[in-house]
A and B are shown apart, each in its own frame.
Chain A
Amino acid sequence: MLPLLQLTLAVTTPACAAPLAPYGLGTEPPVKFAVYADVVYTGTGSKYENAMVVLADGKIAAITPGVEAGDGDVHVAAITPGMVDLSAHIWAGGNSVEETEEVTPAFRVAGTLDPFSRDWDRQLKHGVTTVVANPYDNNCIGGLSVALKTGGAPTIEARTVKADVALRGAMGTQPSSKNHPAAGRPTDFYSRRPTTRMGVEWTWRKAMYDALQAEGDEERAFDGLPELLRALDGDLPVFVQAWATQDIRTAIFLKEEMAREGKPGMRLIIDAGAEAWREIDLVVRTKAAVVLPPFTESGRTTDGAFFAADCAAKLHEKGVPLALSSHNARTVGTYLEHQAAYARRGGLEFDAALAAVTINPARMVGIDDRVGSIEVGKDGDLALWNGTPFELTSRVVGVVLEGELIEDPRGE
């Protein structure tokens, strides 16, 4: 055995010295077990060679470099934190938004999800252990998103990492796509504003100004006011789908306008910001975070937005908090592990690519105290790789979720 290098917060000597029982699928997880890798990437810039990650009671108990795996131990080429996707395909489609009104800030998507959907397992098997589920973007302001683990008991309560992690909404064409003007008598509730981008922007601003005017005035209170105020005060991040340049600008200008109205604290996360590369200076100026959609062959994405291959690299270079996502897609090649590979091809350095699928998204929605990096005391969520992560020849071959081996790489 190689000499043990004790880390600051690593486990005490006896645990390292005592051989840990081999543990496989279908058996009760032992109180404590370890997974080994040639390289452990923590997600926060550090890496440890020939290291083991010790898991106990569902948490990470120690990271110890310079050890060798024994026969039968789980040993892979690389370990990263379980990945975090802020815009994953975990939603109930059109039934996961209340379209009766365009602005429904108090709506919780958690009550519409199907814990038995196969979507969860698809994400989990690809190394994504935490997702944020968002109201479907048919409303300007759809409501409250929720952060969830992708495995465990099939109830939303059991899987919830944190409720109400963001106020979700959308710019662009999607929120207005079903609305139409009333020709004569209105036929249904879609005979309404907005029907254009101008209308979408107007609807957003009206909601924000309604909230500003109603603050502290009980007579003007309305359903959703507390959520809008929390968003304006920066207590809830505002997570806005905006693919195209004009929509990214609209979101940013809205935030800046609110700052001028006395609410400088609004935290903006742009989702699906394919054309954020065109407005990098604006993004930097407003300190917005950006979540990128899946890369496409041609670069063309939704709303006509052109997603440049080096978008992620450029945003990172300018210091923009960056996350990658599968954005509701579930075809081969759109999983989060592949997005990081595409971003690497576009010039994003390895540590930044890893952070963009782990610690960065976790920080954006305030769940980094539990997930997003391999640190002692955090949830035992790990992705196990058969090679260097994000290489075309590498893939996720094993998954540990809350200290339990969900996918065993030894079957490979």
Chain B
Amino acid sequence: MFNGLIVAALAFLPGEVDAPKPATLARTLAFRADVVYRGDGTSIDDGVILVKEGVITQVGSGLEIPEGAAIVDHDGAISAGLIALHSEDGAGAELYDSTRIVLAEAEARHAFAPEHADFDRALAAGITALVLAPSSSSLIGGQSAVVKTSGGRVVKPAAQLALSLSRDALHTNRFPTSYAGAIEELERRFGEPEGPVARAASGSLPVLIDVNDRAETLRAIGFAQRFGLKGALYGSYWAEEIAPQIAGSGLDVICTPFDVGDDSRSARAVVALAKEGVRLGFGLDAPERHPGSLRFGAAACVRAGLETAKARKALTGDAAAIAGVAGRIGRVARGLDADLVLWSGDPVALTSSIQAVYVDGELVHGGSK
């Protein structure tokens, strides 16, 4: 089943921007499901999704199905493909360049192998797109890329400028060794007149700021506010007590990946952020973590009190918005890519299983042709 896919994937250069989609069924594809989660927090019972040439053409209840359409009748739920907002699939150590503290021009889209098995594992977990982000070990690690997990095509090349105010960026054998040194260097770089950093300073390139603890988070917020930066913080574990300050910063938050056995603090932090109205998505950091942990993390938050609709949104529509690709993926809506996951039940219920995954209208995992 995957042979054809791999051939199709290899036909495209890695890192190519907005490459043409693989040949898709010319005829219309019609999905019928008990419930369609649209990715914006709403859902449609007995929903119908019409797809043509890889793009969603219509979504609704009781839609008329065009003659000759191939029908996929699904006894369960359909959601948009899940989006992981911070990961290293197919790239691993290639996203970590220790030779410089500032590598603003480096682009994650050049780092990954599109046919890597990491992507198959992501697809099997319902993840149809992810953000490959440069390592937090550099003050400015480079630019992240939004990549589809089927065929490894790049949806958005320079999605964010990755900054790190975490202690990972403070080395013991090169400048800076201190938080104050890190801030000083970032301030110097953000005065540059052109280049990716200047684009970030002007707000046209969102930032992705890696943080760990509360002090690092507040330091990052202070920096972002001084320079009027737009974007997201990556790291939520310690956010509970400072959720109001985070909300006040206008930055989105990409939640720290969850591990089995995490204490409840990680989930409580996400609940507190949601309560403050912070837009949320989930990080993954595969292959270090299993792609399935993306959905487990969301479920852990629901168990701690996060509304299920918000959890689903954080995995899909809000994640796309944080990555700057809301016009292309993340929702089940007209004009968006037909990246769909067919579930036995609610995506954030751990009892639900994935039965099929479609990317650009193509069946890429599970199901039956």
Report which A residues bind B (CB closer than 8 A).
92, 94-100, 107-109, 111-117, 154-155, 178, 187-190
Contact = CB atoms under 8 A, between A and B. Distances in A.
Given A98-B176, A111-B179, 14 more contacts: A92-B179, A94-B177, A95-B178, A98-B180, A99-B178, A100-B177, A109-B180, A111-B180, A112-B180, A114-B214, A114-B215, A155-B218, A187-B173, A189-B175
B181 interface: yes
A189 B215 contact: no
Contacts of A112: 178-180
25 contacts: A92-B178, A92-B179, A94-B170, A94-B172, A94-B177, A95-B178, A95-B179, A97-B178, A98-B180, A99-B172, A99-B178, A100-B174, A100-B181, A108-B180, A111-B179, A112-B178, A112-B179, A112-B180, A113-B215, A114-B213, A115-B214, A116-B213, A116-B238, A189-B173, A189-B175
Contacts of A188: 173-174
Nearest to B167: A95
Contact of A115 (B175, B176, B215): B215
B326 interface: no
B183 interface: yes
Contact of B177 (A95, A115, A116, A155): A95
Interface string B216-239: 001100000000000000000010
Nearest to B178: A98
Contact of A97 (B173, B174, B177): B177
B241 interface: yes
A190 B174 CA distance: 9
Contact of A98 (B173, B175, B213, B214): B175
A187 B172 CA distance: 13
B170 to A, nearest CB: 5
B-side interface size class = 20 to 34
A95 B180 CA distance: 9
Nearest to A138: B177
A107 B178 contact: yes
Interface string B161-192: 00000010010111111111101000000000
B214 A116 contact: yes
Nearest to B177: A99
A128 B84 CA distance: 46
Given A113-B215, A114-B213, A116-B238, A96 B178 contact: yes
B174 A95 contact: no
Nearest to A101: B175
Contacts of A96: 178-179
A187 B174 CA distance: 10
A116 B181 CA distance: 20
Contacts of A113: 215
